[in-house]
Amino acid sequence: MGRHKDGADADLNTSISPEWFGATDDLNRVKARRGTGVEDGFGGVDHHTQAKMLLDHFNPKHHTRRRHPKQAQSGASTAPSTPDLGEHRMGTPVDGSILSQLLRSYADNPASESGFSLTPGTRTPENDATESETDTTRAPRSRRGNTRNVKWYNSEQHLAERASTPPPWEHRKKRPKSDRQARLTKHIATVLARQQYMMQLCRTLMMYGAPTHRLEEYMAMTANVLEIKAQFLYIPGCMFISFDDALTRTADVKIIRVVQGLDLSRLAATHNVYKNVVHDVISLEQATEELDDIMTSTARYNKWLVILFMALASVSVGPYAFSARPIDLPVIFVLGLLVGFMQQVVAPASSTYANVLEVSAAILTSFLARAFGSIKHNGTYLFCFPAIAQSAIAMILPGFAVLSSSLELQSHQMNAGSIRLVYTIIYSLFLGYGVTVGTTIYGLMDPNATTQTQCTADSLEAAYGSQYVQHFPFVALFCLFAALTNQSRLKQLPVTVGMGVCGYVTNYFSTTKLGPNQVANTVGAFTIGLMAHLYSRIWHGHAAATMIPGIFTLVPSGLASSGSIISGLDFSESITHNATAPGTTGAANPNSLTALGYGMIQTAIGISVGLFMSALIVYPHGKRRSAIFSL
């Protein structure tokens, strides 16, 4: 325990990785089936080959331990004989997991050629063969020493013929034993295929952004359909799978560790495979091949297109969420390109920089935004600083993560929900800290730096002419580019854009009627969820893949209404002008650094309530077989 898998030369203090204990067997099988030359050490690619190798390895004939001759001792008691497991279970159906089937195979071969016995007190084939040879080669003796009373079946000629031919019971026993061995091999291959399919399905669901609060339900329903006894425990980034065996009272635990992402096209393809298997539309082999194709396929759009889509999405979110004017859009586009380059190119190339990506992006964009916002023309500021600063970092806001945590907590999944909620709060504090540091640094460099916290209403009305023009067309563009950023398919875009616009329209009029609060977010999320569930139930579409970009439209607008992103400006001004009184801290200020995290939680709670209410209306009793595949 604790020794490295490479052997005794490694250090005993080497850390243990779950990959050494089968956590990535499904990935290795995918690479082996794709012919990348990594099947060495994995016992073949086909499940039947793996099962046969397991049975061959478990066969006692492969044990090479020499048996020392036993000497009979006076007064030694022999162990009581136990019934043969192979003969006792001859008529039992083939059920159980891999270990129970291997034990049955072991019971069919109770002793090896070296005399190793599974049960004490049983006779080994070696002893039987020796005694048989001795009995057949030794002629019976008559009492009087003559040979006239020797029967024909005890004659020397008949004894020689009987010694040269195998006993007839071996012919009768050979065929049933081979048939049962074939059945065991087939059953083990089936169990292996089902378990590896479940591991691969779990990995793909986590990689491509499946709803995390329903992930355990998806896996449990898959296990029920495949008749696999398993238990599941999900925490962010990790799934524990326990394959149980009631016969041997054992469990095979697998740990699936995945860096979770969001890929809408491959998420929809994975959902197709999951649904077809649950409804017995395709075979397990075909499903495994389709999952192989999904995992080995390249991204639909390369990283340079993703950077462009991120910049265009930042431009689109500016007017309707942060009141950006047309003159601000080119600056937002440049800063959006910068953030996309840092996220898609620099961070993957350096794991060290990936740890400070959010802080560095917030510092750089807020610094440049305040620099552009401080430019004056005819006595007025030419650019709107808060709109530029907030729009530039809109695509790295943890909106989806905090929404997932809220959904998990509302689903009574305390482990996953609490862990993710703490992460998103700290992540939001990092962004707020970065905005505060960037604005403070430029404020120290320029005494005449801008202190704007919102754009003027007169300039917005003169620029767009109507509030509807300012909001609704840009919402549609944001849904479009947000979906493309997350690798959405082109045929999904019309439905995605339509749901996003409908959700924002209800959110907009609720805000104008009731004011900016959580009720408006609930109404918008309810509209999107209702349309997505109806789209899934009536037209059999993918609810989760089409509603996620629409939900993204509600997160920036909710944060803008609370003013949480730019709340660090007052704090930075107090530092710059020494306005904070002695003994006071930023926490005493209502617009402190914690405002962004608090605003994220408020927005997520309103959205999650609306989503659950929409699911309750469309699916009041849930789905019996395949679970609800939506947020």
In a domain, 571, yes or no: yes
Question: By mean pLDDT, which of 114-123, 206-215, 396-405, 503-512 is the weakest?
Answer: 114-123
In a domain, 526, yes or no: yes
Beta-bridge mates of residue 233:
240
Which phi and psi angles does 256 have, rounded to 5°? -100, 110
Q: In sequence order, what DSSP letters do the residues of 74-138 get, joined into one string?
A: TTPPPPPP---HHHHTTTS---S-HHHHHHHHHHHS-B-TT--BSSTTPPPHHHHHHHHHHHHHS
Q: What pLDDT does 432 receive? A: 83
- Tell me which residue has tokens 């007025």: 380
What number of CA atoms fall less than 13 Å from residue 298's CA on the CB side? Answer: 3
Q: What is the pLDDT of residues 10-29, one digit of tens each?
A: 443 334 444 444 556 666 66
8 Å CB contact between 299 and 474? no
Domain assignment of residue 571, given as a range: 303-618
- Tell me which residue has tokens 């849930």: 622
Of 250, 206, 211, the C-alpha closest to 101 is: 250
Contacts 24+ apart (CB under 8 A), 12-18: 18/255, 18/257
Q: pLDDT-based confidence at 246, cuts 50/70/90?
A: confident
Tell me which DSSP letter residue 298 carries.
Answer: P
**Percentage of residues of the chain with pLDDT beyond 90:** 29
Q: pLDDT-based confidence at 46, cuts 50/70/90?
A: low
Q: What is the pLDDT of residues 501-514, one digit of tens each?
A: 999 999 999 988 88
Q: At what angle do helices 595-618 and 399-410 cross, to 10 degrees?
A: 60
- Tell me which residue has tokens 């917005």: 460
For residue 169, give Cα distances in angstroms to 124, 172, 176, 315, 542: 16, 5, 12, 85, 62
Q: How far is it, in rounded angstroms, from Cα 118 to Cα 125?
A: 12
- Tell me which residue has tokens 């875009």: 493
Q: What pLDDT does 216 receive? A: 92
> Would the pTM of this model clear 0.75, i.e. be above it?
no
In a domain, 223, yes or no: no
In whole numbers, what is the pLDDT of the chain averaged over residues?
Answer: 76
8 Å CB contact between 571 and 522? no
Q: What pLDDT does 368 receive? A: 94
Tell me which DSSP letter residue 153 carries.
Answer: G
Q: What pLDDT does 205 receive? A: 93
In a domain, 143, yes or no: no
**Token pair of 323 as six digits:** 């009141």
8 Å CB contact between 46 and 33? no
Q: pLDDT-based confidence at 308, cuts 50/70/90?
A: very high
Q: Which parts of 138-247 fold into alpha helices (H)? A: 156-164, 168-207, 215-226
Q: What pLDDT does 555 receive? A: 81
The answer on pLDDT for 577 being more than 50 is: yes
Using CA of residue 435, residue 441, residue 444, residue 449, what is the dihedral sign? Answer: negative
Report the pLDDT averaged over residues 232-260: 89
Q: How far is it, in rounded angstroms, from Cα 542 to Cα 12?
A: 49
Q: How far is it, in rounded angstroms, from Cα 455 to Cα 453?
A: 7
In a domain, 311, yes or no: yes
Q: What is the pLDDT of residues 28-37, one digit of tens each?
A: 666 666 665 4
8 Å CB contact between 17 and 3? no
Question: By mean pLDDT, which of 358-367, 448-457, 567-576 is the weakest?
Answer: 567-576
The answer on pLDDT for 222 being more than 80 is: yes
Q: pLDDT-based confidence at 337, cuts 50/70/90?
A: very high
In a domain, 536, yes or no: yes
The identity of residue 481, as a single letter, is F
**Token pair of 395 as six digits:** 């695509």
Q: What pLDDT does 22 receive? A: 53
Q: How far is it, in rounded angstroms, from Cα 188 to Cα 55?
A: 9
Domain count, the chain: 1
8 Å CB contact between 366 and 372? no
The answer on pLDDT for 443 being more than 50 is: yes
Q: How far is it, in rounded angstroms, from Cα 166 to Cα 161?
A: 10
Q: Provide the terminal-to-terminal Cα distance of the chain, rounded to the nearest Å.
A: 42
Q: What's the helix, strand, coil split of the chain in %, to 5?
A: 65, 5, 30
The identity of residue 386, as a single letter, is P
The identity of residue 307, as a single letter, is I
8 Å CB contact between 449 and 374? yes
Distance of CA 528 to the CA centre of its chain: 25
Q: How far is it, in rounded angstroms, from Cα 93 to Cα 385?
A: 74
**b/e map of 427-445 (b: 16 or more CB within 10 Å)?**
bbbbbbbbbbbbbbbbbee
Q: What is the pLDDT of residues 539-554, one digit of tens each?
A: 888 888 899 998 888 8
- Tell me which residue has tokens 């084939």: 125
The answer on pLDDT for 91 being more than 60 is: no
Q: pLDDT-based confidence at 534, cuts 50/70/90?
A: very high
In a domain, 109, yes or no: no
In a domain, 542, yes or no: yes
The answer on pLDDT for 446 being more than 90 is: no
Query: Going by C-beta distance under 8 Å and a sequence separation of 6 or more, which residues neighbour residue 462?
Result: none
Q: How far is it, in rounded angstroms, from Cα 236 to Cα 306?
A: 25
Q: What pLDDT does 343 receive? A: 93
Q: How far is it, in rounded angstroms, from Cα 443 to Cα 467?
A: 33
- Per the model's pLDDT, the better-predicted residue between 190 and 51 turns out to be 190
